[in-house]
Amino acid sequence: MDERKRRILQAIVEDYVLTAEPVGSRTIARKYGLGVSAATIRNEMADLEEMGYVEQPHASAGRIPSDRGYRFYVDELMEVKPLPPWVVERVQELCEGRVRAMEAVLQQVARLLSEVTNSLAILVGPQAGEMVFRSLDLVPVGPSRALLVAVADLGLLESGMVEVPADLTPAELHYISQVLTRGLRGLSVQALSHTILRELQAELARYRQVLEQVLEILVASAREQVPDRMYLVGLSTLLSQPEFHDRERLRAVISVLEQEVLAKYLLMVSTEREQEAGVTVSIGRENPLGEVRDLSLVFTPYRVGVSRGRLAVVGPKRMDYGRVVGAVADFERLLSDLLGRWALV
């Protein structure tokens, strides 16, 4: 793979990304002055095809990159483009502005990411199981009911209604809350349930009924695979791409996105390669969207306090990888830096 081949492959990818049409030797010779003639480029292209980096949609057409070609481009050739400054500023404003809920911020950030990449943006907040437990409170409401309020490092973790015996005093409720808070504070939410059991046997045997309900709520919350909310913005942009000319393909994409399989994958991937933060690019069949082989996915986790959210862009294989990877990387950095404020110190 000499320098010239690299530059030709680069030209093919970039021109194809731009035009969505197979690119021929002529075009390359003209638009991307390599100082050689079209004939030479034809020879090189034949080589590239043999090596599996490009392919021909049909016998006498130009070349388009293969998955392998894109992969090489992403790994070796592309130039990561930073986010334009106005976007950076906008994200900062969003994160620092007076907003009550993290959710509203994430929603807007997702919209921005979608606009700037011209693709589908997916943002998920931190997963409950990964948060750190802080406190628990049973607030009496009505005669024999209490609202369980569980707080984690990122704010409200979970709430739910609990039936309590009518003769239980507010003071007793408060006592239960305090014991549980003391016992559980600082644990990862995933680890709660075991600990709760021990606690239960010891100090709070009298309130078994209440405890069981609390336990149920917390366990359910920790088990939740997919985060509370998943912000998915830009479907219509994605659909305007020419690759979705035929409707069957399109339906496939939509129904994949509609099932939340995707979110699950996002989490999976990131637990798999737990350690390595950083942007991952899955191209075509590499990606996990089942039969949909025309999409690429650019993915990264981001930090919020001690837990992590996930951030992804889904676009056609034929996307501007330099720009998208740059955008995703920059968004990750921005969010990791700026969302710290949501973590309770």
**CA 45, CA 35: separation in Å to the nearest integer?**
16
- Among 38, 147, 191, 277, indicate the residue that binds a copy of itself (CB under 8 A): 147
| Residue 236 interaction partner, one of DNA, a copy of itself, none, beta carbon < 5-8 Å per kind | a copy of itself
Site for a copy of itself contains 88 (CB under 8 A): no
Please say which residue, 101 or 197, places its beta carbon nearer to a copy of itself: 101
Residues 35-74 that bind DNA (CB under 7 A): 35-40, 42-43, 45-46, 49, 56, 58-63
As a dihedral over the C-alpha atoms of residue 182, residue 188, residue 190, residue 193, rounded to 10 degrees, the angle is -20
Please say which residue, 223 or 285, places its beta carbon nearer to a copy of itself: 223
Residues 169-228 that bind a copy of itself (CB under 8 A): 216-217, 220
Contact 75, 281 (CB under 8 A): no
Site for a copy of itself contains 67 (CB under 8 A): no
Please, what is the minimum distance in Å from the beta carbon of residue 72 to DNA? 18
Contact 9, 48 (CB under 8 A): yes
| Residue 244 interaction partner, one of DNA, a copy of itself, none, beta carbon < 5-8 Å per kind | a copy of itself
Please say which residue, 45 or 211, places its beta carbon nearer to a copy of itself: 211
Please, what is the minimum distance in Å from the beta carbon of residue 225 to a copy of itself? 13
As a dihedral over the C-alpha atoms of residue 101, residue 107, residue 109, residue 115, rounded to 10 degrees, the angle is -160
| Residue 305 interaction partner, one of DNA, a copy of itself, none, beta carbon < 5-8 Å per kind | none
Please say which residue, 38 or 149, places its beta carbon nearer to a copy of itself: 149
User: Which helix (H) or strand (E) segment is 88 a member of?
Assistant: helix 85-96
Q: What single DSSP character describes residue 74? A: I
Contact 42, 25 (CB under 8 A): yes
- Among 63, 90, 134, 303, indicate the residue that binds a copy of itself (CB under 8 A): 134
Please say which residue, 139 or 191, places its beta carbon nearer to a copy of itself: 139
Non-local CB neighbours of 274 within 8 Å, separated by 6+ positions? none
SS (H, E, C) 227-278: CCCEEEECHHHHHCCHHHCCHHHHHHHHHHHHCCHHHHHHHHHHHHCCCCCC
**CA 344, CA 132: separation in Å to the nearest integer?**
10
Closest CA to 262 of 235, 241, 243: 235
Non-local CB neighbours of 331 within 8 Å, separated by 6+ positions? 83, 91, 109, 113, 302, 311
Please, what is the minimum distance in Å from the beta carbon of residue 50 to DNA? 9
- Among 139, 215, 226, 261, indicate the residue that binds a copy of itself (CB under 8 A): 139
Backbone angles phi, psi at 267, to 5 degrees: -70, -40
**CA 147, CA 57: separation in Å to the nearest integer?**
62
Q: What does the binding site for a copy of itself look like in residue numbers (CB under 8 A)?
A: 100-101, 134-135, 137, 139, 141-143, 145, 147, 149, 151, 155-156, 159-161, 216-217, 220, 233-236, 239-240, 244-245, 247, 250-251, 254-255, 258, 344-345
Q: What does the binding site for DNA look like in residue numbers (CB under 7 A)?
A: 22-27, 35-40, 42-43, 45-46, 49, 56, 58-63
